[in-house]
A and B are shown apart, each in its own frame.
Chain A
Amino acid sequence: MSQSLLAGRRWGDARQGRPAWLLPLVADPGAMLAACFLVWLVATAMAPALFTARDPIAIAPRAAFLPPDWAHPFGTDASGRDILARIIWGTRSSLLIGVLSTGLALGVAIVIGTFGALGGRLAERCVARLLEVLFSFPTLILSLLFAPSLGSGTRSLVLAVGIGSIAGYGRLVFGQMRSVREAGYVEAARVLGHPAWRTICVQIVPNAMRPLLVTATMGVGQTIVWASTLSFLGLGAPPPAAEWGTMLVMGRDYIAQAWWLTFFPGLFIVLTSLSTTVLGRALQRTLAAGGR
C-alpha cells in the first residue's frame, strides 16, 4: 500500500519535473522517432545549406541518370542534379505548403464552425448541411476543380489543397463547438454577464481547439500528400523549383529507366506524413489520458 503510494508520488514528481506534453514522447519510441524526424525536417527547411553542399539547380548533363552510389546517395536526375540535394532544398516549400494549407483550412473551418454553432438555429442547419455535402466531396476532386482557376505555382497549390480540406476540419470544429457550447463554464460566463464575443473568444474557441491540435498535426502530413498528388497531376510548382511534388512529376516520365527519380522524393513525403500521424496519435493519447 505505502509502496504503491510512494510509486504514485514519484510518478507525480516526474510529471511535474517535465512538461506534460513531453511525456508521450518519452514513453513511446515511435513518437520520439517521428518527433526527431520532424525536427530534422524543420531544421532542413530553415537552413538547407547546412545539410548539403551541392547545388540543387545547377545542371551537369554528363552526370545525368546516375543510379544511387556513394557520391550521389539518391542518384541524379535527367539534368544531372543530385536528388538528395534537391530533396533537402525542396523541404522548405513542401513543409510550407503543408503548414499553410492546413492553417488556411483550419482558419476557414473555425469561422464556419463558430458561425454554425453559435449563430442560431438556421445557421446551424445550413452549416450542418453544407459540411455534410462538402465532406462527401472527394478532397482530390474538389482541389482538382479549383486548381486550374487558381493558376499554377505554390500559392495556388496551398489554396487548392486548403479548400479541399476545409470540410474535414469544419465537421470537427462544428461538433466541438456544439458540445462546448453546452458546457457549464459557458453558462457561468453568460450568467456573469460577460459579453458574447468575450465568451466566444475566451471560453468556447480555446476549449474547442484542443482536440483540433491533434487533427492539425496529422493534417500537415496529409496536406503534403494532397499537394504532391496535385503536383503529380501537373498542377503544382513549375519545374525548375525543387519541390517534392514537382520532382515526382519530372521523374514520372523516366519511371521505366530511373526509379530513383520518383522513389526518394516520394519516400520523404511518406516519412513526413507517417511522422505527423504517429506524433498526432501520441498527442491524442496524452490528451485522452489527461481527461480532456
Chain B
Amino acid sequence: MNAGVRTRRLASGLLGRAAGGGSVLFVSASITFIALHIMPGDPVMAMLGGPTADPSPAAIAAARHEYGLDRPLAVQYGLYLWRLLHGDLGVSFSQHMRVAAVLREQAGPTIVLTLSALAASWIVALLSVLVTTRRNRWLDGAAASVETVGASLPHFWLGIVLLWVFAFRLQWLPPAGNSLAALILPTVSLAIPLGGFIGRVTRDSFAAALDQPFVLSARTRGLSDWQVRVLHVLRHAVLPGLGLSAWAVAALLGNAVVVETIFSRRGIGRQLFEAVSMQDMPLASGIVLFVTCLYVIASLLIEMLSALIDPRLQGARR
C-alpha cells in the first residue's frame, strides 16, 4: 500500500468517524430533549422555588417567556439544537449559573474518577489473566470465578460495603470528600465490577491466543513462558477488551451517578441526578451531551490505540 492511498484512507476514515460522532451527539441531544419534555410537572415552578413557592402569575409568565417555554415544542427543539450548535448550553435553573460553568467546575473530579477506575480495572484484569490463565487448572478456575463474582457486584452495594468497612469500621479512609485518599474507595467500587468484566473477556481471548501457532514458534525459539505471555500473547488478547473500553468509559460515567452520591463526591454524576430530580433541563441535557462527547472521544482514542496494537486494523473500515 503506498503512502498516498494510506493517507486518503486514514482521512476518509477520520471523516467517517467525525460524522458518526456528530450523529451520536445529535441523537443524544434529541433523546435528552424528549425525556425532559415528557417529564410531568412544570419546570417553571421548579425554577421559581419548587412546589411550596407561590409566585405571581406575572412572574410565571415572565420566566416562561425568558426561557422560551411559551413557544411551540417544535420551535423549542429547533432553538435548542441551534444553540447547541453554537456551543451554548444555556443557564441552569437550579444552580443559577451557566451550564458550561457548572461543567467546568464539576467535570474534573468525575473524569479523574473515571480514568483512575478504568486504569485500576485494566491493571487488575491484566494481572489476573497474565498470572493465572492456563497456569494450573484450579488457579485458572478460581481466578475466573472471582472475575465472574466481581463482574456481578452492583456498584452501589459494593460502595456501601466498602464505605462501612474502610471508612466507618476501620477508619482507614475518609468516607467523603475530594482528597486523594477519598478517591480510593470510589475508584475501587467502580473498578471491581469492570475489572471482573474485562478480565473475563480477556481471559477467553488470552486462552485462544495461547493456542495459536505463533506461540509454539516463540517457544521453540527459546523464549520463556513469561516472555511468550507478555511479549506475544498479551498483544492479541487485549484487543476484545480494548474494543469494549469505550463502552466501559460511558458505563463508568453513568455509574459515577451512584458512586458520587454514596461518597458525596463532587462531580457531574451527582449533578446529573440532582438536575433530573429538580427538572433542570438545561443542566441535565448539558451533562448528558458532555458524557456523550467524552464517549465519542474515548472511542476515537481507543480505535487509534487498537490500530497501534494490531497493525492489521489500520486502514480497515469496520
State A270–B295 Cα separation when bound (angstroms): 28
Chain B residues near A148: list those with CB within 8 A. 39-40, 276-277, 279
State A273–B153 Cα separation when bound (angstroms): 8
Q: Which of A138, A248, A270 contacts B291 (CB 8 A)?
A: A138
Q: Are A136 and B272 in touch, CB under 8 angstroms?
A: no
Q: Are B38 and A149 in touch, CB under 8 angstroms?
A: yes
A278 on the interface (CB 8 Å rule)?
Answer: yes
Considering only CB atoms and an 8 Å cut-off, how many residues of chain A contact the other chain? 44
State A42–B276 Cα separation when bound (angstroms): 35
State A221–B149 Cα separation when bound (angstroms): 13
Q: Are B145 and A30 in touch, CB under 8 angstroms?
A: yes
A103 on the interface (CB 8 Å rule)?
Answer: no
Please list the residues of chain A having a beta carbon within 8 angstroms of any beta carbon in chain B: 30, 129-130, 132-142, 144-149, 151, 221, 225, 228-229, 232-234, 248, 252, 255-256, 259, 262-263, 266-267, 269-270, 273-274, 277-278, 281
Interface SS majority for chain A: helix
Nearest neighbor of B157 in chain A, beta-carbon distance: A266
Chain A residues near B258: list those with CB within 8 A. 140, 229, 232-233
Chain B 149-162: CB-based contact to A (< 8 A → 1; otherwise 0): 10111111100110
State A273–B156 Cα separation when bound (angstroms): 14
Q: Which of A139, A234, A255 contacts B254 (CB 8 A)?
A: A139
B148 on the interface (CB 8 Å rule)?
Answer: yes
Interface SS majority for chain B: helix
**Stretch in B27-35, B81-89, B205-213 touching the partner:** B27-35
Shortest CB distance B297–A (Å): 12
Tell which of A132, A232, A273 has the most Cβ of chain B within 10 Å.
A232
Chain A residues near B27: list those with CB within 8 A. 129-130, 133-134
State A266–B36 Cα separation when bound (angstroms): 31
Q: Which of A138, A252, A269, A278 contacts B250 (CB 8 A)?
A: A138
Q: Are A145 and B36 in touch, CB under 8 angstroms?
A: yes
State A274–B164 Cα separation when bound (angstroms): 23
State A138–B294 Cα separation when bound (angstroms): 12
State A34–B257 Cα separation when bound (angstroms): 30
Shortest CB distance A171–B (Å): 11
Shortest CB distance A211–B (Å): 16
Please list the residues of chain B having a beta carbon within 8 angstroms of any beta carbon in chain A: 20, 23-24, 27-28, 31-32, 35-36, 38-40, 145, 148-149, 151-157, 160-161, 163-164, 168, 246-247, 250-251, 253-255, 257-258, 261, 272-273, 276-277, 279, 284, 288, 291-292, 295-296, 299
Given A137-B250, A139-B254, A141-B257; A256-B154 close (CB under 8 Å): no
State A139–B31 Cα separation when bound (angstroms): 13
State A138–B272 Cα separation when bound (angstroms): 13
Tell which of A145, A151, A262 has the most Cβ of chain B within 10 Å.
A145
Q: Which of A142, A252, A256 contacts B168 (CB 8 A)?
A: A256
Q: Are A140 and B168 in touch, CB under 8 angstroms?
A: no
Q: Are B254 and A136 in touch, CB under 8 angstroms?
A: no
Q: Which of B24, B153, B251, B279 contacts A132 (CB 8 A)?
A: B24
Q: Which of B36, B153, B292 contacts A137 (CB 8 A)?
A: B292
New A-B contacts (15) at CB < 8 Å, excluding given A132-B20, A136-B292: A136-B247, A137-B28, A138-B291, A139-B251, A141-B257, A141-B291, A142-B31, A145-B31, A146-B35, A148-B277, A149-B35, A248-B156, A248-B157, A255-B163, A277-B152
State A148–B277 Cα separation when bound (angstroms): 7
A selection of 21 A-B contacts at a CB cut-off of 8 Å is: A129-B27, A133-B23, A136-B246, A136-B299, A138-B250, A138-B254, A140-B255, A145-B31, A145-B288, A229-B156, A232-B156, A233-B261, A234-B277, A255-B163, A259-B164, A266-B154, A270-B152, A270-B154, A273-B154, A274-B152, A277-B151
Given A130-B27, A138-B291, A256-B168; A145-B284 close (CB under 8 Å): yes
Nearest neighbor of A261 in chain B, beta-carbon distance: B160
Q: Are B32 and A145 in touch, CB under 8 angstroms?
A: yes
Given A140-B254, A151-B40; A145-B23 close (CB under 8 Å): no
Q: Are B164 and A145 in touch, CB under 8 angstroms?
A: no
Nearest neighbor of B250 in chain A, beta-carbon distance: A138
Q: Are A149 and B155 in touch, CB under 8 angstroms?
A: no
Q: Are A255 and B160 in touch, CB under 8 angstroms?
A: yes
Chain A residues near B273: list those with CB within 8 A. 144, 233
Q: Which of A145, A256, A269 contacts B157 (CB 8 A)?
A: A269
Chain A residues near B152: list those with CB within 8 A. 221, 225, 270, 273-274, 277
Chain A residues near B247: list those with CB within 8 A. 135-136
Shortest CB distance A129–B (Å): 6
Given A130-B27, A137-B28, A256-B168; A270-B157 close (CB under 8 Å): yes
State A110–B169 Cα separation when bound (angstroms): 48
Q: Are B160 and A266 in touch, CB under 8 angstroms?
A: yes
Shortest CB distance B208–A (Å): 13
Shortest CB distance B183–A (Å): 20
Chain B residues near A228: list those with CB within 8 A. 154, 156
Nearest neighbor of B145 in chain A, beta-carbon distance: A30
Shortest CB distance B2–A (Å): 32
Q: Are A141 and B272 in touch, CB under 8 angstroms?
A: yes
Chain B residues near A134: list those with CB within 8 A. 27
Tell which of A132, A147, A149, A278 has the most Cβ of chain B within 10 Å.
A149
